[in-house]
Structures are given as structure tokens and as C-alpha cells.
Amino acid sequence: MGLKIVQAGEPLLRQVARSLTRQEILRDEIQRLIDDMRETMRDAPGVGFAAPQIGLSLQLAVIEDREESLKDLPPQELADTDRRPVPLLVIINPQITFTADDEASFYEGCLSLAGFSAVVPRARAVHVKYLDELGESRSVEASGWYARILQHEIDHLHGTLYLDRMHTRTFTSSDNWNRFWKGKPIGEPSSRQ
């Protein structure tokens, strides 16, 4: 069942979501929600999806960067962004630690800002502790695009959108990104006219 994705301006997108208990995680309604979120993310298509994006104030997100999504991307873009397939991951009540001092800046979109993107600086590597879909404690070390996805989705759980982190002069519609910036190096945001 595809879920309705709320768009920027929805007040809940700017609130800190509440944590889930292990007992809540194991309930049928949360298990169905996880399945519905995965399906909605894949249908959109997207690589991550957080519960606040469907109007639910829960510390829950799904992440997946499928191999078939990467097959049409140029090898140089995959190398530049350090992007590799990421198997389905359910993160609940995540705690993030930045494990690299350096950042990478790339265009980023969001299902709750449909039709737009901007250059967003993000840490290159992170460590995330979380509960999985069975309420078990887990952790993951991620770098490159995987780290970017985790940061983006965890931001959603804290009421933050990429708009809060973007280089404002790079904000663009998808049509103009395809027209002017697709396949080109990022460069300095101040050089964007």
C-alpha cells in the first residue's frame, strides 16, 4: 500500500519524532508500517524514507539503495559520490556519530521536497547505533553516499530538512538541474549564477 508523502510546510516535518519501545516495534501495526514504508520508498523511487514524511512522529526510517538504481549512473559519478548498493535497512531510535572530519558536497533531493534539489555538505563517514525491525540493538559504519542517506533520514527524525544545510545558491528545480547541472562537477556554490 503506497503511503501519502507529506511535503515541506507540514508542521510535523519540523518536530523531533518520538522514540519507539521494543514492545511497540514488535506490534503488527509497526511491522505493517515498515512494509508500507519500504514499498512507498521503492515506488517513489527513493533511497530513504522516514516516518515523519508520512505524518507520523516516530523515530523510524527505511533505507535502501538498490543495485538496479545504480546501473544507469555513469561510473565516474558512482566513484565521485562513493556510491554502492545498500541492502534494506530499518533504523529505529538512531544515534549518529560523525567519524570523519571531512565533508563532501553533492546534490541531494527529498521526497518531501518533490521536484527540487540542492548541494548539501555532509560528513563523509558516520557510525549509527539503532534498533532494527525486531527491536534488536545494531550498529553500522557507513561512508560515502550511504553515510549521506543515513544523515538525511536521521535529520528527518529530528525535524531537519536538507534546506537547513544546503548551499542556498544551488537550490534548483529538477528540470533545471537536468538542464544545467547534471553530470557536471559541483564546483563552488558561490560560482553558481
Is 24 labeled as catalytic in the residue annotation? no
Please state, in angstroms and rounded to a whole number, the distance separating the CA atoms of residues 126 and 97.
Answer: 6
DSSP letter assigned to residue 19: P
Instruction: Spell 85-115 as b/e; 16+ CB within 10 A means b.
Output: ebeebbbbbbebeeeeeeebbbbbbbbbbee
Q: Give the separation between CA 179 and CA 98, rounded to whole angstroms.
A: 34
| Catalytic annotation, pick one of 64, 108, 133, 153 | 153
Phi/psi for 97 (5° steps) reads -130, 135
User: Catalytic residue positions?
Assistant: 153
